[in-house]
Amino acid sequence: MMKDEKNQEIAAILFAILEDVYQVSPWSQKQILTDMNRLDVDYFFVYDDKEIVGFLSIQHLVGELELTNIAIKKAYQGQGLGSQLLAMLTKDELPIFLEVRASNQAAQALYQKFGFRSLTTRKDYYHNPKEDAILMKREGLVDY
């Protein structure tokens, strides 16, 4: 299978994960594929046997990283897979930023476990449904 075909297949899987988690995916399959093909973006996966059941994506910016997506299929949530994904970032010395829904207390607690701290609120940042975002940042290396 050629790389482009493989990326299309993976983008379809990631889109299905986002639809499972959010009911209405915040990203289209085309947006995911475009993102995957960027040189400044990395994707990390967690598996059940050979099936991708969760992923994390980061974008490399000048002197910092942005965690752009993290999602675990609902059937696999609560099993430590989000922690496995975030642990992949523990050796990176750059500051990492992310946004999280204000109502998503479980995700905020997970991010705090990995050294992220709340910075500010972005009013009405999310749509479907409309909601504030909490901007969080992790400074450099943190022991876990």
What is the Cα–Cα distance from 117 to 106, expressed in whole angstroms?
A: 14
Q: Is 99 a catalytic residue?
A: yes
Q: Is 64 a catalytic residue?
A: no
The per-residue DSSP string of 6-75 comes to: HHHHHHHHHHHHHHHHHSS-SS-HHHHHHHHT-TTEEEEEEEETTEEEEEEEEEEETTEEEEEEEEE-GG
Q: Which of 43, 51, 64, 111 is catalytic?
A: 111
Q: Which of 9, 51, 66, 99 is catalytic?
A: 99
Catalytic residues: 99, 111
